[in-house]
Amino acid sequence: MSEFFDALAPGYDDDGTFHPLVAETLINGLAPEPSLLVDVATGTGAAAFAALRLSPGSVLAVDISPAMVKLATAKAPSLDPAGRIEWRVAPGVPLPLDDGTADAVVCASALHFLGPAALADWRRVLRPGGEVAFSVPSVHRFRASDAFASVVAADLQLPGDLAEAAALATAAGFREATADTVTSTAGDRTRSVFVVHAVA
């Protein structure tokens, strides 16, 4: 699977504002100053960089794609001059962390690749009271191309509305789940996802 996302890396940031908008929305719902925030499937780092304004103790950004991580680290000297982000090529499931060690876990635009096992793993690595924030496409809008269909998790039922999006978190044992819709229009293309925040 890493080869698939490596091939996407050169044009990943070409979508303009959508990935940064989703990342900002995820981060906006989190409490400030987490000791450790984990950005799962970081891609080129939008959520990891956005998380820096929360004044975290540290950020761990993981992605299975070496090419994505390479692009993210190329941005780091200007966007993270203090070097608070640790970049790691690693799978999103399981995360390379001990149980109960993270204060926040975020995942932008990747749960539909990771599947429900990711939700259970995020709960594992979060301390009690830790926060999770993730985005997920709507079943009514998501149309995977043949290439993408091969890497989409078959065991994740995509939600059709806000209640179903929040229920993904509560079904995995999280509480206080809320969901919102994030929509971006660029030219004649409109993109929309659900964004969920919940507590472990």
Domains and CATH numbers, the chain: 2-199 (3.40.50.150)
Which of 122-126, 127-131, 183-187, 192-196 comes out lowest in average pLDDT? 183-187
pLDDT digits (tens, 9 = 90+) for 103-129: 999 999 899 999 999 999 999 999 999
> Across the chain, what does the average pLDDT equal?
92
pTM for the model stands at 0.94
pLDDT, mean of residues 51-77: 96
| Cβ–Cβ under 8 Å, residues 44 and 9 | yes
The H-or-E segment that residue 166 falls in is helix 162-171
Question: What stretches of 38-157 show up as alpha helix (H) in DSSP?
Answer: 46-51, 66-79, 111-114, 116-125, 146-149
187 confidence band (pLDDT: 50, 70, 90): low
Position 148, amino acid? F
Q: What is the DSSP string of 34-68?
A: -SEEEEET-TTTHHHHHHGGG--SEEEEEES-HHH
Compute the distance between CA of residue 15 and CA of residue 89 in angstroms, rounded to an integer: 23
Position 44, amino acid? T
42 confidence band (pLDDT: 50, 70, 90): very high
